[in-house]
């Protein structure tokens, strides 16, 4: 985040808020995601921008997402990673959030095919993470069962 230009930081924050507010509901996991993103802003971002973001969330007001030109590929990829992660911030991929992701990505000049590929990678990453949690829980319960007194 620190490598992003101020304009890119503000744009990214608004785009994330737009994705999170797309379904009209702000869930606990989404608030946590925004707080993590904001903690990166705290060192560099103006208090006015942080207040604007919190106001948008509180009022459930979708921010307007303008077109942006990102001239550095690393910054562009980073921004795309944050946008795709925002879609899954509440633990599920909703149609409204996905549509806002595509809208935001297109405002960055990224084509639909690339956006589709990136969101599918994020979906797979999310699926694997959920499966690992399941496996760990099964191992833990099997281990506890094996430690229980027999008889």
The pLDDT of 32-59, averaged and rounded, is: 71
Round to whole Å and give the CA distance between 86 and 30. 8
Q: What is the pTM of this model?
A: 0.77
Owner of token pair 């191992």: 139
The pLDDT of 63-91, averaged and rounded, is: 92
Q: Indicate the helix (H) or strand (E) that contains 17.
A: helix 6-21
Residue 102 has pLDDT above 90, yes or no: yes
**Nearest-CA neighbor of 76 among 12, 125, 24?**
12
pLDDT tier, 38 (very low <50, low <70, confident <90, very high otherwise): confident
pLDDT of the residue at 73: 93
**Nearest-CA neighbor of 30 among 91, 98, 104, 102?**
91
């Amino acid at each position: 985040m620190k490598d992003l230009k101020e304009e890119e930081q503000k744009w990214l924050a608004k785009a994330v808020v737009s994705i999170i507010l797309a379904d009209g509901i702000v869930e606990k996991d989404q608030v946590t995601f925004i707080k993590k993103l904001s903690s990166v802003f705290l060192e560099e971002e103006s208090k006015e921008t942080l207040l604007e973001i919190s106001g948008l969330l509180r009022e459930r007001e979708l921010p307007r997402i303008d077109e942006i030109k990102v001239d550095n590929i690393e910054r562009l990829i980073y921004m795309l990673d944050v946008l795709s992660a925002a879609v899954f911030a509440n633990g599920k991929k909703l149609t409204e959030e996905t549509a806002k992701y595509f809208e935001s990505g297109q405002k960055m000049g990224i084509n639909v095919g690339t956006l589709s590929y990136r969101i599918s990678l994020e979906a797979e990453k999310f699926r694997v993470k959920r499966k690992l949690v399941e496996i760990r829980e099964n191992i833990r319960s099997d281990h506890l069962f094996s430690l229980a007194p027999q008889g």
